[in-house]
Amino acid sequence: MVFNPFQDHNRYLDKDPKDMTLSELRMLLKIKRMDLQLGWNELEGKIKFWQRVARSLRESGIIDKAKEGIQSYLQKDSPKE
């Protein structure tokens, strides 16, 4: 029997684990592991995406220009003694 998590997971959602057979418990555990792995992969993908965005901004010089702009704005507004 080949397990397809996108179709077969519905068989195990409504059933209480106490009422499951050993093979059903193994399938439920496999489903939970796969779900956890998918969630972890999604998190890693989001982190890598934002790392790429930050690296691109840093390499393009936009961050340095923004810092310079903010510093010049703050220096204009600060009272001179």
Q: What percentage of the chain exceeds 90 in pLDDT?
A: 41
Per the prediction, the chain carries an average pLDDT of 83
Reported confidence tier of residue 54, pLDDT bands at 50, 70, 90: very high
Q: What pTM did the predictor assign?
A: 0.56
pLDDT tens digits, residue range 7-45? 666 666 677 888 888 988 888 888 889 889 999 999 999
Cα–Cα distance for residue pair 79/45, rounded to 1 Å: 46
